[in-house]
């Protein structure tokens, strides 16, 4: 059995009611209609010449066909990077630890012929408060293109060995379960949040409100014991990433792309206080009406009670990336600020910084390819010095670039084309330092 993979980006899909079409050309046509733009005329805006960042490339310990990186901090100035490698019929989740510019050996978390590998629904490894690592990946549970389960495993020896995987969702139907966020807690456990397809497409002729993907969550203790499963939203956008963060009060703030009965796909937020989840609320009423999934989720980050959320929208045919700040732990968010150089494509990430600013990351369509843009954003003055970190003109897409905070800046990773390897991919990693 071949792993269900996204080497040709067949994981792009768009929906009309309860129907979804596969294939990159279908998804791209659907998205461009929703945006009201033509990619052939998109151009990159001008950033200031004096860069506010210094950039250093770091070699990565990956093998051929490495893609879909994820980054996480270990809490001691080290970071862990995870990624996917595909070799014939096998796919593998791999990871390595970076310390003072030196990598640990690359270690395999899981490898099988049944893994579902997807450019947008990518795997992750995070560090828990006691040093345990938690990893998640997706495993096929049926013959269909989007029939897979979430698997979560733990390692107490930095990835040398892993526990048997557990499934966080009660549903065992042959439907989609993915787009996971893992949120560590202060006592060695975590909360898993995911999109759940148990009610999606199970009524062939019914396009009712509940015939949609759901947002669900569950706490998992350090020994793998699972608490009750919570339904957070019974109707969410089908294939956009979720993002969540725990703040200093131990509350969780989670964001995702919602989906109303009128096909408005704005960004909603839910909060977990103790054991109680709040009802969904819009971060901002953009009013993006789209009968299809844009495959473009939001991102959130926080330090103490300072919170930043970034997302893509194309409401009224006007593509834009927006960022909104909160200084009260996500209870209220400010009016969003635009981040736009002329042809934004989204694929966002964000890091809240100690001085109240945020590092925003997004993709713009340049005339020569995809441009990764970073900007240090102030809640008062917005983005004043957008900087191009990288322009990709190769055959392979950069996918969804990921960031993790470091002292004085960030690490940024993305999928790139491998040198001297026809058709192969690799992981590019840079260290970005804020220039004083």
Give per-residue pLDDT as tens, 269-316.
999 998 899 999 999 999 999 999 999 999 999 999 999 999 999 999
118 CB neighbour count, 10 Å cutoff: 24
Can you tell me the mean pLDDT for 68-75?
96
Higher pLDDT, 47 or 327: 327
Q: Are 250 and 186 in contact (CB under 8 A)?
A: yes
Please give the average per-residue pLDDT across 108-121, as a whole number.
Answer: 96
- Give the contacts of 16 (CB within 8 A, at least 6 positions apart): 291, 292
For residue 31, which phi and psi values (nearest 5 degrees)? Answer: -65, -45
Give DSSP secondary structure letters for 275-289. Answer: TEEPPPEESS----B
User: Are the C-beta atoms of 351 and 362 separated by less than 8 Å?
Assistant: no
pLDDT, residue 207, reads 63
- Measure the N-to-C terminal CA separation of the chain; round to a whole number of Å: 53
**Residue 146's pLDDT is what?**
87
Please list, in sequence order, all residues whose beta carbon lies within 8 angstroms of the beta carbon of residue 190, skipping any fewer than 6 positions away: 126, 128, 134, 182, 183, 184, 219, 220
Q: Indicate whether 9 pLDDT > 60.
A: no
Tell me the pLDDT tens digit for each residue of 386-436: 999 999 988 889 999 999 999 999 999 999 988 765 668 999 999 999 998
**Confidence check: pLDDT of 18 > 70:** no
3-class secondary structure, 246: strand
Q: What is the DSSP string of 125-159?
A: EEE-TTS-EEEEEEEE-SSSTT-EEEEEEEESSTT
Distance (Å, rounded) from C-alpha 124 to C-alpha 147? 19
What whole-number distance in Å separates Cα of residue 13 and Cα of residue 395?
20
DSSP per residue, 386-397: -EEEEEE-SSS-
The fold for domain 13-434 equals Neuraminidase (2.120.10)
Residue with tokens 């080497």: 7
Residues 370, 9: Cα–Cα separation, whole Å:
15
The residues that bridge with 21 in the sheet, in sequence order, are 14
- Give CA–CA dist 125/95, Å, rounded: 8
Question: pLDDT band at residue 52, thresholds of 50, 70 and 90?
Answer: very high
Q: How far apart are CA 251 and CA 116, in angstroms?
A: 32
pLDDT tens for each residue of 349-389: 999 999 999 999 999 999 889 999 999 999 999 999 999 99
Q: How far apart are CA 355 and CA 352, in angstroms?
A: 9
Helix (H) and strand (E) counts for the chain?
1, 32
């Amino acid at each position: 059995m071949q792993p269900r993979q996204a080497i040709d980006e067949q994981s792009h899909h768009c929906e009309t009611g309860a129907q979804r079409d596969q294939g990159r050309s279908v998804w791209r046509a659907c998205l461009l209609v929703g945006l009201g733009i033509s990619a052939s005329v998109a151009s990159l805006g001008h950033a200031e010449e004096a860069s506010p960042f210094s950039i250093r490339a770091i070699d990565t310990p990956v093998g051929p066909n490495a893609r879909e990186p994820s980054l996480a901090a270990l809490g001691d100035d080290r970071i862990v990077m995870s990624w996917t490698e595909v070799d014939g019929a096998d796919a593998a989740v791999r990871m390595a630890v970076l310390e003072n510019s030196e990598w640990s050996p690359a270690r395999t978390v899981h490898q099988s012929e049944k893994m579902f590998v997807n450019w947008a629904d990518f795997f992750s490894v995070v560090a828990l408060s006691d040093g345990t690592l938690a990893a998640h990946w997706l495993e096929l549970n049926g013959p269909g293109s989007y029939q897979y389960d979430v698997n979560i495993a733990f390692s107490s020896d930095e990835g040398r060995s892993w526990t048997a995987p557990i499934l966080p969702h009660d549903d065992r139907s042959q439907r989609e379960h993915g787009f996971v966020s893992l949120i560590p807690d202060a006592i060695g456990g975590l909360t898993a949040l995911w999109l759940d397809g148990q009610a999606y497409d199970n009524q062939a002729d019914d396009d009712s409100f509940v015939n949609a993907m759901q947002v669900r969550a569950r706490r998992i203790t350090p020994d793998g014991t699972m608490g009750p499963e919570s339904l957070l939203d019974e109707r969410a956008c089908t294939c956009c990433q979720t993002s969540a963060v725990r703040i200093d009060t131990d509350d969780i703030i989670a964001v995702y792309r919602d989906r109303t009965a009128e096909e408005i796909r704005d960004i909603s937020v839910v909060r977990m206080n103790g054991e109680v989840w709040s009802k969904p609320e819009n971060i901002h009423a953009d009013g993006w009406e789209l009968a299809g999934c844009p495959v473009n989720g939001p991102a959130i980050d926080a330090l103490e009670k300072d919170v930043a959320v970034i997302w893509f929208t194309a409401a009224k045919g006007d593509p834009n990336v927006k960022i909104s700040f909160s200084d009260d732990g996500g209870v209220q968010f400010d009016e969003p600020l635009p981040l736009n150089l002329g042809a934004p494509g989204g694929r966002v990430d964000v890091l809240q910084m100690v001085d109240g600013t945020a590092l925003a990351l997004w993709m713009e369509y340049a005339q020569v390819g995809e441009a990764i843009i970073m900007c240090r954003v102030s809640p008062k003055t917005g983005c004043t010095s957008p900087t191009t970190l990288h322009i990709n003109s190769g055959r392979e897409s950069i996918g969804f670039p990921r960031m993790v905070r470091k002292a004085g800046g960030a690490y940024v990773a993305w999928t790139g084309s491998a040198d001297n390897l026809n058709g192969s991919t690799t992981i590019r990693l840079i260290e970005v330092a804020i220039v004083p």
